[in-house]
Structure 1
Amino acid sequence: MKSAYIHIPFCEHICHYCDFNKFFYHSQPVDEYLNSLEKEMAHSMEASGYPELTTIFIGGGTPTSLSAKQLERLLDGIITILKPSEQLLEFTVEANPDDLEAEKLTILKNAGVSRLSFGVQTFEDDLLKKIGRVHKQKDVLNSFDRARAIGFDNISLDLMFGLPDQTIDQLAASLDTALSLAAEHYSIYSLIVEPKTVFYNLAKKGRLHLPPQDREAEMYELVMKKMNEADIHQYEISNFAKKGFESKHNLTYWSNEEYFGFGAGAHGYINGIRTVNVGPVKQYIDRIDSSGFPYKETHRVTKNEQIEEELFLGLRKITGVCKTRFFKKYGQSLDELFPDVLHSLEQKGLIKNTNTNVCLTHTGKLLGNEVFQSFLGEL
């Protein structure tokens, strides 16, 4: 049982914070890309013996920037080649609120897409403009209502905090608006300024005014408080859901399970090998044409690396790392492998180490990176 991530690297515009592999839709050979994507999926599935998939996730870029005809073609290809069965637990598509008309929503619904993830980021129009988004609050509300009317009953809203000049009151207002929609899932991340982004260049020039670190921590505290009060439980550091609506696809990553990565710039993890596809669309198409596979990098993960990743990823989950599962997977005890690290983190109040699992404390959630990095290189 495996998952599949499919990357659509096209956008109508480029957001100031985004470092994902993406290109302007109108300057790219989109139809040729879809041809190559189908070939990659077919070659990979054949080479792997057509495993049964548990989840499919189409991300980007902006998958819904495709025309209705291209979107329908993409979904037809996925269904024909990946052959999702009745065992498919979740089929997610990322969507921008400003390009989600009824025709595209209907195409998604008819193809069996069961979950939508809206890239909202904030409900404050002035902040949306500052971060390079072109939609407004009204577009989100209209698209959300439209999706509900067409029958989507599993919708996730992506929000951000720590944005330029963002205040606590603005974040509170955005959270209140988001919760008023009664979505099933919320992903709420702090802004990270990544290289090769507009924000990175502004920061280098001293022109990016972000909230101080203590204010950002206060914002995260507010996020957790409001979600808890709304009975939207936190199941991962940045993710909150109604019971039963946790993202099954993303849990694949955090549980360190294997998945296909299809498309330009996509990452995969199959049969113990991590792969990275080439990013530029033309290079991707050329490599598919020449060899059927677009890998830029491949790396067989050692056992020690798997163990480190198990902790780095698993501790993001609120339930943490299950000791029984860890032992079954690696044949070694977590307490025996990392006695000093576990003791140190527990003394600092960053983790709880019980007979059954290791998980973050409330303080540990605020200092997650410190916890994760403690395990790196220990073996």
Structure 2
Amino acid sequence: MARGVYIHIPFCHQICNYCDFNKVFFKNQPVDEYIEAVGKEIEMSVRKAPEQFQDIETIFLGGGTPTALSAEQIARLLHHINTLLPTKQLVEFSSEANPDELSADKLEALIHGGVNRLSMGVQSFDQKLLEKIGRTHSNEHVFETIKQAKKVGFENISIDLMYGLPGQSMEQWEDTLEKALELDLPHYSAYSLIVEPKTIFYIQYAKGKLNLPTEDLEADMYDLLMRRMEEKEKKQYEISNFAIEGHRSTHNKIYWDNDEYAGFGAGAHGYLMGNRYSNHGPIKKYIETIKNNEQPILHRHEVTNEEKCEEQMFLGLRKNEGVLFNEFESKLGISMKELYGKEIAKLVKEELLIEDDKGVRLSRKGRFVGNEIFQQFLLGE
């Protein structure tokens, strides 16, 4: 049964150099037709299996850029969502946003449509770095948009930051953190740059033209991030996420808990009834499939018990609370210690994991090498 719903809006007015998500330039795209297709996909899915959606806790609008839509288009999309899904019971209704696109009328459309959390892609407060990564907003856009968002009634606001960017110095990162924390928001996310295939940065990297920070500098940036957040009482609850009490991301926790969620839209991914699936990515193909009254699913994979165990570990270990013994066994029907006893003992000895009577979690040292630790729990390795 779905705990959450993800809805993908693949349109952008500017393509960022690091982004590998399914997206297209907004201009000359069938945006209105796409919104209707998303509505129809939701309607078909709910009609087919209404029990899957009766207890949803969260909805997340991602992209692409949901705020690339006009206020009228946002209102239309939210009308479909509120008509077709049980949104009155939601704990959280989030939308991603770009600071230079969130006009007053779009903010009004979002909040009147039920959205109660904004996740803004700020990435840096250094203008030269913003230009280097393909972002178009200014610091003034960020400050003014947050001011306007609070004015219309948004209290739950998060911003995304990035470190390990090409040419980024520790001084630039420290300045970004200082400016971000001066905003005193309830939630912050901060991610290190990953150079993904099919991105502009990947092409530059392959040509040897991407001046990335060293691994040691990137580790120092992460260390500074954790220290600054702790000083400002923004509690770390996941490798890359920090919040004050009551403002943790409920939707993202669904992913880290390895629970089920529905995905709608072109290129969206979902996990329902033990199956992970992904939709057709090309806009035209997605719309055509919907018009033919067919589910737009391109790939479907039934997750094996072995894969469920692996995912429970490497997703759950992202959380500060880690993976609990009783939850692992009740969900998967096998003892974590029986399955992973040797790996856990080895990582505890290396001071990368902490084990207590409740479960296992990353140590502070372990957070710096999380991906290497996660690989230890791949059963096929």
Alignment TM class, shorter chain as reference? over 0.9
Aligned ranges 1:136-175 → 2 under 5 Å: 136-175=138-177
Q: Could you tell me which of 116, 124, 127 is aligned with 2:118?
A: 116
Structure 2 residue aligned with 1:23: 24
Q: Could you tell me which of 97, 101, 104 is aligned with 2:103?
A: 101
Structure 1 residue aligned with 2:8: 7
Residue pair 1:5, 1:259 contacting (<8 A) in 2 also: yes
Structure 2 residue aligned with 1:332: 334
Alignment partners' CA distance in 2, 1:63 and 1:374: 37
Structure 1 residue aligned with 2:61: 58
1:31 deviates by 1.0
Deviations along 1:32-80, one digit per CA (max 9) or x if unpaired, are 1111101111111122224221000000000000011111100111100
Residue pair 2:54, 2:86 contacting (<8 A) in 1 also: no
Structure 2 residue aligned with 1:242: 244
Aligned ranges 1:1-379 → 2 under 5 Å: 2-49=3-50, 50-85=53-88, 87-378=89-380
Alignment partners' CA distance in 2, 1:291 and 1:377: 40
Residue pair 2:72, 2:109 contacting (<8 A) in 1 also: no
Residue pair 2:257, 2:315 contacting (<8 A) in 1 also: yes
1:186 deviates by 0.5
TM-score where L is the length of structure 1 = 0.98
SS at match of 1:99: coil
In structure 2, give the amino acid aligned to 1:17: Y
Alignment partners' CA distance in 2, 1:346 and 1:261: 37
SS at match of 1:98: coil
Deviations along 1:206-255, one digit per CA (max 9) or x if unpaired, are 11101001000000000000000000000000000111100000000000
Residue pair 1:327, 1:333 contacting (<8 A) in 2 also: yes
Residue pair 2:107, 2:152 contacting (<8 A) in 1 also: yes
Residue pair 1:39, 1:292 contacting (<8 A) in 2 also: no
1:313 deviates by 0.3
Residue pair 1:274, 1:298 contacting (<8 A) in 2 also: yes
Alignment partners' CA distance in 1, 2:342 and 2:3: 35
Alignment partners' CA distance in 2, 1:336 and 1:83: 40
How many residues are matched?
378
Alignment partners' CA distance in 1, 2:330 and 2:124: 42
Alignment partners' CA distance in 2, 1:338 and 1:160: 33
Specify every segment of 5 or more residues in structure 2 that has no aligned partner in the other structure, as ranges.
Answer: none
SS at match of 1:120: strand
Alignment partners' CA distance in 2, 1:283 and 1:260: 20
Alignment partners' CA distance in 2, 1:222 and 1:274: 36
1:378 deviates by 5.0
In structure 2, give the amino acid aligned to 1:280: P
Residue pair 1:52, 1:84 contacting (<8 A) in 2 also: no
In structure 1, give the amino acid aligned to 2:296: P
Show structure 1 runs of 4+ deviating over 4 A. Answer: none
Q: Alpha carbon RMSD of aligned pairs, Å?
A: 1.0
1:336 deviates by 0.9
Deviations along 1:279-337, one digit per CA (max 9) or x if unpaired, are 11001111112243111100111111111110010000010001111111122111111
1:112 deviates by 1.4
Among all aligned residue pairs of Structure 1 and Structure 2, give the percentage whose two residues are the same amino acid.
50
1:185 deviates by 0.6
**Of 41-50 and 271-280, the range deviating more from structure 2:** 41-50
SS at match of 1:159: strand
Residue pair 1:157, 1:186 contacting (<8 A) in 2 also: yes
Residue pair 1:45, 1:51 contacting (<8 A) in 2 also: no
TM-score where L is the length of structure 2 = 0.98
Deviations along 1:165-204, one digit per CA (max 9) or x if unpaired, are 1111111111111111111110100000001111001111
